[in-house]
Amino acid sequence: MRAAASGVPHCGSCDRPLPWYVEAGEGSFGAVVERSPLPVLVDFWAPWCGPCRMVEPVVERMSRDLAGRLKVVRVNSDETPGLGRRFQIMGIPTLILFEGGQARDRVTGAVDAGRMRRWLEPHLAAREAG
């Protein structure tokens, strides 16, 4: 599966949406995030960050639970300082929701699955309604 694919990934057998969980860097960010057909949850993280490791399974779960509605992208902040400056990342983990190539909302710090879902759902519902 290509990270910058233009459609939504589906199972070849049952046609159900598949989770879209990929990594992006400085060179691929535009194609992977800003030109995505779906809203994109971007997780700015670093390998040494304890709260980032706590959020990682929650972020991965959102890719499964919201398959077909949301693309999830991880960005290693240590390897992408330009993106950190561009999006004013002051602490990690920082989660930014992109829609139509634009940053729409953000959360900084570790969040559990319930809080993350409550944060994402209104954005996704508004997009789907409208």
52 catalytically annotated: yes
pLDDT one digit per residue (tens) for the chain, 130 residues: 345 555 677 666 665 766 789 999 999 999 999 999 999 999 999 999 999 999 999 999 999 999 999 999 999 999 999 999 999 999 999 999 999 999 999 999 999 999 999 999 999 988 878 6
* Catalytic, out of 49, 89, 95, 96: 49
Give residues with Cβ within 8 angstroms of 65, minimum separation 6: 117
Task: Tell me the whole-structure pTM to 2 decimals.
Answer: 0.88
The C-alpha angle with vertex 7 and arms to 25 and 9, in degrees rounded to 5, equals: 85
**Structural domains in the chain?**
21-129 (3.40.30.10)
* Catalytic, out of 40, 52, 58, 59: 52
| Rounded Cα gap, residues 98 and 36, in angstroms | 9
| Rounded Cα gap, residues 43 and 57, in angstroms | 11
11 catalytically annotated: no
Q: Is the preceding omega at residue 93 within 30 degrees of 0, hence cis? A: yes
